[in-house]
């Protein structure tokens, strides 16, 4: 089992998932980390990954690196999503086996489950019917990662465990308005909408300075920035001589989604790495053992609680005190209408989440508004 001096490699340590893992491990006293940025190690490069593992010989690996995004990114970059994720997974998992890694934790996503999977989705729903088309490439890559870990365990005796977190959010999320998931996109758009209705150009320019959009920078004119904001669904109109702001949201707002605070997810992952082995997961599915077919050995990480996209938007709107309108663009796709996990396997193994969505929304909005002291003008 891991000890405080074990050499730990976190692939993707700067992202939402990886940064939460690193923070959790440091808090618990782990201190021997080997870390590489994407610029230092391209995980899609087979030779570079092989050289890294041969040189560093990590004892434990958290595979949190991935190409991720929301419905727009998944629809636009379909080839990149399947290729990049397959390459990252294949390279890291294979080299972990070749170099004697004691244990690996592979992080996937609940989008692996079929579009029409019974709700809430249990691990046994995997491969039972067709996937949601909009994120099929990403889902197929993640399914391949699960099966790679599962079958390396069966053939080579490795101790590689796959976990499937539900939709995550928290500090260091991706707030790119074209590539991010729905929750961080809503946080940013509604904050920008609030700034615009208050004519808070200092806050708007600071936001764009930190995260440029479509080639527009903080140096552009107010008219150019307003045109940019309108192009991403933040629209300014005049009503009865007064400015009125609306924020567009893709789809009907009716799809239901489950969200997990990223630091809860990290706590679950460290719990599994410290206390749960592949044999424990196999035993947790007696039906598979009795049939002689060991499968579906991955573990859901979720809350078992869901909220509609519309209610999520209204929750964020209230938190940031945006007074304008929410406009649901029903010409845009909704994606899967419901995606709720069944986290009972993990609860039987001994872990349950702590942060509910209302508290998490408050925390992530506060974090975004105060990040790097660039948003001190925001009065939350």
pLDDT tens profile 309-352 = 999 999 999 999 999 999 999 999 887 788 899 999 999 999 99
pLDDT at residue 289 is higher than 70 = no
User: In the chain, what are the domain boundaries?
Assistant: 8-172+258-306+339-355, 182-253+310-335+364-373
pLDDT at 215: 80
- The pLDDT of 258-273, averaged and rounded, is 97
Task: Please answer whether residues 167 and 262 qualify as being in contact, where contact means their C-beta atoms are separated by less than 8 angstroms.
Answer: no
Helix, strand, coil shares of the chain, percent, nearest 5, are 45, 15, 40
133 is catalytic: no
> Is residue 375's pLDDT more than 50?
no
Q: Which whole number is the average pLDDT over 203-209?
A: 92
307 strand-pairing partners: 257
pLDDT number for residue 378: 40
Q: Are 91 and 97 in contact (CB under 8 A)?
A: no
CB-based contact 345:124 (threshold 8 Å): no
**What confidence score (pLDDT) does residue 310 get?**
97
Grade residue 377 by pLDDT with cuts at 50, 70 and 90. very low
Per-residue pLDDT reduced to its tens digit, 58-104: 999 999 999 987 777 888 889 999 999 999 999 999 999 999 999 99
Burial class (CB in 10 A: 0-12, 13-18, 19+), 238: exposed
pLDDT for position 107: 97
Above pLDDT 70, what percent of the chain?
A: 96
Pick the more confident residue, 97 or 291: 97
Helix (H), strand (E) at residue 8:
strand 8-11
367 vs 183: CA distance, rounded Å: 14
Give the percent of the chain with pLDDT over 90.
Answer: 78
Which of these, 32, 18, 151, 36, lies nearest to 97 by C-alpha position? 151
Catalytic residue among 138, 152, 195, 375: 138
DSSP helix/strand/coil, 106: strand
Task: Assign domain 8-172+258-306+339-355 one CATH number from 3.40.50.720, 3.40.50.300, 3.40.50.740, 3.40.50.11540.
Answer: 3.40.50.720
């Amino acid at each position: 089992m891991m000890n405080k001096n074990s050499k730990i490699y976190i692939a993707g340590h700067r992202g939402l998932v990886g940064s939460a893992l690193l923070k959790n491990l440091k808090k618990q006293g782990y201190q021997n980390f080997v870390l590489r940025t994407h610029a230092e190690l391209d995980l899609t490069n087979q030779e570079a990954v092989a050289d890294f593992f041969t040189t560093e010989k990590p004892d434990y690996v958290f595979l949190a690196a991935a190409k991720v995004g929301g419905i727009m990114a998944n629809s636009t970059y379909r080839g990149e999503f399947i290729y990049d994720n397959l390459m990252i997974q294949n390279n890291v998992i294979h080299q972990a086996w070749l170099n004697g890694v004691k244990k690996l934790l592979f992080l996937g996503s609940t989008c692996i489950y079929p579009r029409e999977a019974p709700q809430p989705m249990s691990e046994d729903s995997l491969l039972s019917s067709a996937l949601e088309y909009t994120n099929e490439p990403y889902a197929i890559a993640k399914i391949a990662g699960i099966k790679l870990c599962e079958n390396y365990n069966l053939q080579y005796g490795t101790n590689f465990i796959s976990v499937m977190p539900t939709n995550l959010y928290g500090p260091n999320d991706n707030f790119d308005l074209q590539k991010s998931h729905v929750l961080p996109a809503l946080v940013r758009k509604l904050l920008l909408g609030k700034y615009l209705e208050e004519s808070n150009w200092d806050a708007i320019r600071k936001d764009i300075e930190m995260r440029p959009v479509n080639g527009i920078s903080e140096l552009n004119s107010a008219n150019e920035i307003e045109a940019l904001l309108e192009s991403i669904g933040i629209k300014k109109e005049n009503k009865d001589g007064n400015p009125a702001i609306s924020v567009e949201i893709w789809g009907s707002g009716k799809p239901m989604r489950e969200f997990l605070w990223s630091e809860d997810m990290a706590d679950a992952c460290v719990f599994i790495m410290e206390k749960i082995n592949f044999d424990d997961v196999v035993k947790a599915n007696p039906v598979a053992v009795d049939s002689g077919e060991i499968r579906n050995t991955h573990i859901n990480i979720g809350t078992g609680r869901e909220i509609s996209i519309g209610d999520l938007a209204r929750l964020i709107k209230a938190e940031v005190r945006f007074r304008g309108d929410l406009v649901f663009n029903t010409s845009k796709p909704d994606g899967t209408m419901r995606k709720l996990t069944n986290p009972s396997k993990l609860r039987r193994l001994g872990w349950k989440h702590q942060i509910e969505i209302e508290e998490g929304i408050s925390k992530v909005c506060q974090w975004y508004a105060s990040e790097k002291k660039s948003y001190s003008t925001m009065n939350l």
